[in-house]
Amino acid sequence: MRSIERTVALRLRQDRWFHVFGVLCTLLGVATLCALLGSLLLDGLGRIDWSFLSSFPSRRAGQAGILSALVGSLLVMLVTAAVAVPLGIAAGVYLEEYARKNRLTAIVEINIANLAGVPSVIYGLMALGVFVYAFGFGHSILTAGLTLAALILPIVIVATREALRTIPRSIREASYALGATKWETVWHHLLPYSMGGIATGIIIGLSRAIGETAPLVTIGALAYIAFLPDAPFTSEPPFVSFAWLQSDFTVLPMQMFNWVSRPDPAFHANAAATGVVLIAITLSMNALAIFVRYRMRRSIKW
């Protein structure tokens, strides 16, 4: 009787120990994030105003702004999304719905999974060799967009496949039984029903891409850009211009990195402010992803 009490007490103590340990581990993670955000906000929030967002970088820290980096990030993301979204969805649909399950597709699948784990700087090296030198795109918005598209392609493919996999077989069979072809089934049913998951994957991918620095450093992106690329719309026909694709550019993380490496502490405040903007963008993208997923989950339940 005594020994049972003792072992129970011992085991309960063990239980409590882990409880405390678990809370500490969790708090450590949250506290790190809070400290990071807090110090960033403390240093940078004061610098953020309209002129900071709408000025070009400058030698004088007080007058410097992130306009070119903001526009650069936006345009690079535009190229990235325009390339990675159709390619990623098409590849995901192919692998999930069309490809016969054999050794070749198994190898392709393993490669795609591995691709997601390749360090981003390696993508930069690949881009330097292929886009900058072989294709002669230079260190342009086009090169940067293509590089980041390659980086997030696996994320989009995997998200597409997972989203398609959640659609029950019975829905596919209902469509085929009504005489739909594979493509009609994909177009009228599978893609619309999996859009929530796919969109989430795209947003997560883009929010990763927008914070990437290493591959862009590798392709030779400039940090100091005091001009905007050509406008994508013109007053003369054909009214759209793609000259901006060839333009030099900078992006938010590059601008931030540049300012951090200056000795003058006034620039460090600029860097912190850029960090705040960057974090605000990624967090709101993630929030959008969560919202999209929530909306889709609510409207479609299998």
Partner 1 sequence: MTQSKEIQPRETPGALASARFGAPAGRPLGDAVSPDAAPAGVDVCESTDAEPRPGPALADVKVQLRNFGFSYGSHRVLKNLNVDFENKKVTALIGPSGCGKTTLLRAFNRMHDLYAGNTYEGEILLLPERINLVGPDVSPTEMRMRLSMVFQKPNPFPKSIFENVAFGLRMRGVKDAAAIRSKVEQSLKDAALWEETKDRLHKPAYDLSGGQQQRLCIARALAVDPEIVLFDEPTSALDPTATLRIEELIESLRSRVTIIIVTHNMQQAQRISDWTGFLYLGEMIEFDRTEKMFTNPGSKLTEQYITGRFG
* Site residues for partner 1 per CB under 8 A: 100-101, 168, 170-181, 184, 188-189, 193, 299-301
List residues bridging with 233 in a β-sheet.
240
Cβ closer to partner 1: 99 or 228? Answer: 99
Nearer to partner 1, 219 or 296 (CB): 296
Q: What long-range pairs does 58-64 form, CB within 8 A, spacing at least 24?
A: 58/226, 61/264, 61/266, 61/267, 61/269, 61/270, 62/266, 64/259, 64/267, 64/270
- Based on CB atoms, which residue is closest to partner 1, 49 or 184? 184
CA 282 to chain CA centroid, nearest Å: 8
In whole angstroms, the minimum distance from the beta carbon of 297 to partner 1 comes to: 12
Residue nearer to partner 1 on the CB measure, 17 or 183: 183
In this complex, which beta carbon is closest to partner 1, that of residue 2 or of residue 103?
A: 103
Residue among 12 and 107 whose Cβ is closer to partner 1: 107
Long-range residue pairs from 26-33, CB within 8 A, at least 24 positions apart, any chain: none
> Rounded to an integer, what distance in angstroms lies between the CA atom of residue 197 and that of residue 176?
23
Please return the burial class of 286, using the count of CB atoms within 10 Å of its CB with bins 0-12, 13-18 and 19+: middle
Give the integer Cα–Cα distance in Å for 52 and 64. Answer: 7
DSSP codes of every residue in 136-170: ---SSHHHHHHHHHHHHHHHHHHHHHHHHHTS-HH
Least gap, CB of 162 to partner 1 (angstroms): 18
CB of 12 to partner 1, least distance (A): 47
Q: What is the smallest separation between the CB atom of 27 and partner 1, expressed in angstroms?
A: 42
Q: How far is the CB of 196 from partner 1 (least distance, A)?
A: 11
Termini Cα distance of the chain: 53
Q: How far apart are CB 188 and partner 1 at their closest, in Å? A: 7
**Which amino acid appears at position 31 of this protein?**
A
Q: Which CB sits closer to partner 1, 51 or 181?
A: 181
Locate 120 and state its tokens: 């981003």
Distance in Å, CB of 107 to partner 1, minimum: 18
Yes or no: say if 82 and 175 are a contact pair by the CB < 8 Å rule: no
